[in-house]
Amino acid sequence: MLDSARHFVSKAKILQLIEGMAYNKLNVFHWHMTDDSAFPYVSSVFPELSAKGAYRPELTYSKADVLEVVKFARMRGVRVVPEFDTPAHTASWGASHPEIMTKCAGKFEGQIGPLNPTKESTFDFLYKLFSEIKTLFPDKYLHLGVDEVDSACWESNADIQDYLKAHGLDNGDLPYRYLERYSANISAMGWLQMVWQEAMIENSYMEWPKGTIAQVWFDYKKTMATLTKKGHDVIMSDGWYLYVLDTGADWEKLYNVEPTDFNGNKAQKAHVIGGEACLWSEWINEHNVLPTTFPRVSAIAERLWSPVEELSVDEARLRLEEHNCRLMARGIEARPANGFGLC
Residue of 148, 282, 315, 322 marked catalytic: 148
pLDDT at 343: 86
pLDDT bracket for residue 280 (50, 70, 90): very high
Task: Report the mean per-residue pLDDT for the chain.
Answer: 96
Q: What is the tally of structural domains in the chain?
A: 1
pLDDT at 308: 87
Report the pLDDT averaged over residues 74-90. 98
The residue range of the domain holding 190 is 2-211
Q: How many CB atoms lie within 10 A of CB 29?
A: 24
The answer to whether residue 193 is domain-embedded is yes
pLDDT digits (tens, 9 = 90+) for 222-255: 999 999 999 999 999 999 999 998 877 899 999 9
Amino acid letter for position 128: K
* CA angle, residues 199, 203, 206, in degrees to nearest 5: 105
User: Is 150 a residue whose pLDDT tops 90?
Assistant: no
pLDDT digits (tens, 9 = 90+) for 178-231: 999 999 999 999 999 999 999 999 988 889 999 999 999 999 999 999 999 999
Tell me the C-alpha distance between 95 and 295, whole Å: 38
pLDDT bracket for residue 341 (50, 70, 90): confident
The CATH number of the domain where 157 resides is what? 3.20.20.80
The answer to whether residue 318 is domain-embedded is no
The answer to whether residue 39 is domain-embedded is yes
The answer to whether residue 285 is domain-embedded is no
The answer to whether residue 280 is domain-embedded is no
Report the pLDDT averaged over residues 74-97. 98
As a three-state string, the secondary structure of the chain is: CEECCCCCCCHHHHHHHHHHHHHCCCCEEEEEEECCCCCCECCCCCCHHHHHHCCCCCCCECHHHHHHHHHHHHCCCCEEEEEEEECCCCHHHHCCCHHHEEECCHHHCCCEEEECCCCHHHHHHHHHHHHHHHCCCCCCEEEEECCCCCCHHHHHCHHHHHHHHHCCCCHHHHHHHHHHHHHHHHHHCCCEEEEEHHHHHCCCCCCCCCCCEEEECCCHHHHHHHHHHCCCEEEECCCCECCCCCCCCCHHHHHCCCCCCCCCCHHHHCCEEEECCEECCCCCCCCCHHHHHCCHHHHHHHHHHCCHHHCCHHHHHHHHHHHHHHHHHCCCCCCCCCCCCCC
Name residues whose C-beta falls within 8 Å of residue 335's C-beta, 6 or more positions apart in sequence. 291, 292, 294, 295, 296
More confident residue, 258 or 248: 258
User: Is 151 a residue whose pLDDT tops 80?
Assistant: yes
The answer to whether residue 281 is domain-embedded is no
User: Is 97 a residue whose pLDDT tops 90?
Assistant: yes
The answer to whether residue 240 is domain-embedded is no
Is there a catalytic annotation at residue 132? Answer: no
Of residues 187, 216, 194, 198, the one with CA closest to residue 151: 198
Q: How many CB atoms lie within 10 A of CB 340?
A: 5
The answer to whether residue 251 is domain-embedded is no
Could you tell me what percent of the chain has a pLDDT over 90? 90
Phi (first) and psi of residue 20, to 5 degrees: -65, -35
